[in-house]
Chains A and B, each alone.
Chain A
Amino acid sequence: MKSSYRRVVPVFALLLAGCANDPAPSEQMKLTTQAFSQAHDVGVDSSVPEYSLAKDKLERAQKAMLTEEYKKARVLAEQAELDVRLAEARVLNNKSQTHVDELNKQIARLQKRLESTP
């Protein structure tokens, strides 16, 4: 009876430790921060809804890191990374679309000039 009790305690302790000591997601935090700076480089800002979402999650992840709630920090940081990458892709898309619109306008102008040149 005593020996089985001894065997149970370490296993139980291990389970508890596993929960409390989720490793600190430092690598993920770095990845997420990099995704943010890449997004800033192409001019992403709070006007993009996904960016605001990402920023909120990043701040909450950073707070969770301070209080050592590592599981929570990792989940938030992973989501923030993809949110901000989506925001970046949307901005790049908008820019590209604007460029296409400008080219179309330029074509219209050229065609008009061609028509009016005798």
Chain B
Amino acid sequence: MMRLAFSLAGLALMISLTTGCASSTTTQQALQDAKSRYASIKTDSEVLRSAPKDVRRAEETLDKAEQLASYWGSSKDARHFAYLSQRYSDIAQEHANLRSSQDKATQLQLQIERLQLKLREKELRSARERNVWLTDQLFNLGTSQTERGLVMTLGDVLFAPGRSQLNPTANETVLKLAQFLQINPKREVRIEGYTDDSGDGDRNLSLSRQRAQAVAKALSTLGIEEGRLQVLGYGEDYPVTSNETAEGRAKNRRVEVVFSDENGDFVPAR
């Protein structure tokens, strides 16, 4: 009977020791994890710099966990503090990562500003070159410097005979004109329509205006603001040559595009 009692007591003791061991193993493991996590951040100068408070708390809670682990019956509390310590270490690490990616973002932002500046300079230079080229092209397409400023003449062949529609052959001219206006945003144009003297004067006046209007419309379709486009019709007035011959009449049927200077100022209209 005594023996049985002893062996029962022994068994009970063994069980309690084993469970004690198991729980102390998990506690030791938790402590070990917290310790090595803390060791990995405390030597990282980036972490120390960006999250000193969390590093300190990771240390304090780790100390507390170790202290509690040495007390009998406090292993649960020890694990709790080991958990807190791990979390403080993790948070400190995240803050360091955040800071380094924010620093990186600041650097990249500076790089972007430098690149944008470089690009603007390059584009400006290229626009200037393009402007020179386009101006040349406009001169080739019948633009000349006159006492009324820069004037571009769109010949009769660019229109359907007797009508105001622009022919497809006018596309290149109108496109160049639009490009020129796009890179010279302060320049405006006065679009003036003219006819020969054959036929009814009123009809000629209205046709000249409609042809000028057709050019303005084509330009505004290409994105030029209407405020930069004035439209006038002069009908039979101001012929460039005699209306006696067919050739002369064809020359008189025209649209003239008068450019303002670079500040938007015109020589007054006729």
Contacts and interface: CB of A to CB of B under 8 A. Distances in A.
B194 to A, nearest CB: 39
Contacts of A113: 119
Contact of A96 (B84, B105, B109, B112): B105
A49 B97 CA distance: 19
B112 A103 contact: yes
Contacts, number: 66
Question: Which of B91, B109, B126 has its CB near the most chain A CB atoms (within 10 A)?
Answer: B91
Interface of B: 80, 83-84, 87-88, 90-91, 94-95, 97-98, 101-102, 104-105, 108-109, 111-112, 115-116, 118-119, 122-123, 126, 129
B119 A82 contact: no
Interface of A: 75, 78-79, 82-83, 85-86, 89-90, 92-93, 96-97, 99-100, 103-104, 106-107, 110-111, 113-114, 117-118
A79 B108 contact: no
A117 B122 CA distance: 7
Contacts of A86: 87, 90-91, 94
A114 B115 CA distance: 8
A117 B115 contact: no
5 contacts: A93-B94, A93-B98, A96-B102, A103-B105, A114-B119
Contacts of B115: 107, 110-111, 114
